[in-house]
Amino acid sequence: MTAERSGQTTAGMADERAPRGLFVYVAAAFAALGGLLFGYDTGVISGALIFIQKTFSLSTFNQELVVSVVLVGACVGALSGGRLADRFGRRRMLIFTAIIFIAGAIVCAMAQNVMMLIVGRSIVGLGIGLASSTVPLYISEVSPAGARGWQVSLFQFAITVGILAAYLVDYAFAASENWRWMLGLAVVPGAALGLGMLILPESPRWNAQRGNLEKARSVLVKVRGTHHVDAEMREIEATLHQAHEHGHLSDLWLPEVRLAMVIGIGLAIFQQVTGINTVIYYAPKIIQAAGIPSASGAILATAGIGLVNVVMTVVSMWLIDRVGRRPLLLVGIAGMAISLGVLGYAFYSPARSGSFAEIAVVTLMAYVASFAISLGPIFWLLIAEIYPLKIRGSAEGVAAATNWAANFAVSLTFLTLLQVIGASRTFWLYAVLALAAWVFSYALVPETKGRTLEEIEAAWRTKGRVA
Ligand code: BGC
């Protein structure tokens, strides 16, 4: 790790080597639309479900299925998406992902029965999974080292905007009870993603890995907006002897990548088991339990939480290439642990005073703000930058799939935990897991700020773990 942590000195060099062209912003912004769909499609169901239930008279089990089948699809999509992105390229996978999103949205919007809806939601889930493994990868490979942090974080930013947009669309169509429009509107960003990727280039690093160095160079020239790309090309070529043959799944456990795998999988689990989606999916319920009885008040407070999520993600993007990944991660996770502790205490105190609901809402906001500057963006960023090129897609896919599996487990158990051990202990449990996440991050997570992907890859190798 020492090699990574001493990486700051190379930041300036990396910047010089890779002057920024306008094109890279366009590429990153279009790819991030995959994140918007991710956020929209996970967020939209909370408001749509009440009306879907009316149309099809869903049983509780079928309701749970309509909600959670997305997570199962996402897990499958993430696992296969990474590997397919290594094989067929990042760009082609993103075009395919856009088609999947569009198909899923149309099937959902036109569903004539619950079976068709469940099929549509599985297709949407597949799209979300594919996006979660391919978007950060693509952005990290086209971005210059000095701006990679905030550019990959555009993905998380888009997720949060997608969630907020979903809350607002749900609100807008609530009066007409038109859940078909709520689910169908995802066609719009889906089409934008597909069209954008049709005109954007393939990742230079993937081209190089496939032996197409000329193409890699011409893409670099285009995205950097300069012909001075020799240094970056040399670095990419230097890693090619590691990457020329196709990575196998068994390569994921080679000694030189094992620690990186542990970090990716560990952060994937911690991002979810510290409870973020209990808030994202069930915020109105938590707020009502805290004493704001009216549904509209709860929805308004939920939208406020969605807004905090967006704004603090922007703050994180502003800081991430300046102060680095580690400080943000550690401060943010500490904030999460503290706010979860306070939340547990607030629900614990037997005599709830008049300001109880306000305290609960403010604490929820503090919790979401802490997540948004740390585990939210930094998990997706790190899994796009810490793996060697040879297995980057597959390894990221494994981390993303683990994240979806953990998300599924937490979403399924949250309501039961509330019933069995109560709200306080549930939040305290998440607080303890946040403390564990802090220790894990402190001990293992490397600083990658300002370093090229090739420097990060070399640093893992120089730790004496190369087979
Ligand atoms: C997580 C999602 C979560 C979202 C909230 C993402 O980083 O992976 O599970 O819903 O952040 O902003």
Q: Cα(458) to centroid of ligand 1, in Å?
A: 30
From residue 428, alpha-carbon distances to 286, 348, 442, 451 in Å are 15, 10, 21, 37
Cβ of 209 below 6 Å from ligand 1: no
Query: Nearest residue CA, atom 6 of ligand 1?
Result: 376
Compute the distance between CA of residue 331 and CA of residue 372 in angstroms, rounded to an integer: 11
| Two tokens, residue 451 | 């370093």
Type and span of the H or E element at 409: helix 392-444
Contact 455, 372 (CB under 8 A): no
The model's pTM is 0.87
Contact 151, 143 (CB under 8 A): yes
Compute the distance between CA of residue 316 and CA of residue 325 in angstroms, rounded to an integer: 10
Cβ of 159 below 6 Å from ligand 1: yes
Q: Cα(193) to centroid of ligand 1, in Å?
A: 20
Q: Cα(381) to centroid of ligand 1, in Å?
A: 13
Query: Nearest residue CA, atom 1 of ligand 1?
Result: 376
What is the structure's pLDDT at 264? 96
Domain count for the chain, please give it.
1
Query: Nearest residue CA, atom 3 of ligand 1?
Result: 277
| Two tokens, residue 161 | 């905007």
The domain that holds 113 is classified in CATH as: 1.20.1250.20
Compute the distance between CA of residue 105 and CA of residue 192 in angstroms, rounded to an integer: 14
Compute the distance between CA of residue 406 and CA of residue 275 in angstroms, rounded to an integer: 10
* Residue 283 lies in domain: 3-463
Compute the distance between CA of residue 286 and CA of residue 265 in angstroms, rounded to an integer: 29
Q: Calculate helix-pair angle for 114-142, 22-56, nearest 10 degrees.
A: 170
Q: Cα(63) to centroid of ligand 1, in Å?
A: 22
Cβ of 309 below 6 Å from ligand 1: yes
Closest listed residue to residue 130, CA positions, set 38, 203, 205? 38
Please give the chain's pLDDT, 467 residues, in tens. 333 333 333 333 334 444 456 888 888 888 899 999 999 998 888 788 888 988 999 888 888 888 889 999 999 999 999 889 989 999 999 999 999 999 999 999 999 999 999 999 999 999 999 999 899 989 998 888 888 999 899 999 999 999 999 988 888 888 888 999 999 999 999 999 999 999 999 999 999 888 888 999 988 888 888 888 888 888 888 777 655 555 666 777 877 788 999 999 999 999 999 999 988 877 877 887 777 777 777 777 888 889 999 999 999 999 999 999 999 999 999 999 999 999 998 888 765 666 777 888 899 999 999 999 999 999 999 999 999 888 888 899 999 999 999 999 998 888 889 889 998 999 999 999 999 999 999 999 999 998 888 888 888 877 633 22
Cβ of 376 below 6 Å from ligand 1: yes
Query: Nearest residue CA, atom 5 of ligand 1?
Result: 160
Compute the distance between CA of residue 139 and CA of residue 453 in angstroms, rounded to an integer: 12
Compute the distance between CA of residue 97 and CA of residue 134 in angstroms, rounded to an integer: 9
Query: Nearest residue CA, atom 8 of ligand 1?
Result: 376
Query: Nearest residue CA, atom 12 of ligand 1?
Result: 160
Compute the distance between CA of residue 226 and CA of residue 217 in angstroms, rounded to an integer: 11
> What does residue 228 show for φ and ψ, rounded to 5 degrees?
-85, 75
Closest listed residue to residue 316, CA positions, set 167, 168, 193, 157? 157
| Two tokens, residue 239 | 């890693």
DSSP 8-state code for residue 452: -
Query: Nearest residue CA, atom 2 of ligand 1?
Result: 277
Q: Cα(264) to centroid of ligand 1, in Å?
A: 15
Torsion sign across C-alpha atoms 159, 268, 319, 135: negative
Contact 151, 318 (CB under 8 A): no
From residue 86, alpha-carbon distances to 123, 196, 220 in Å are 22, 21, 19
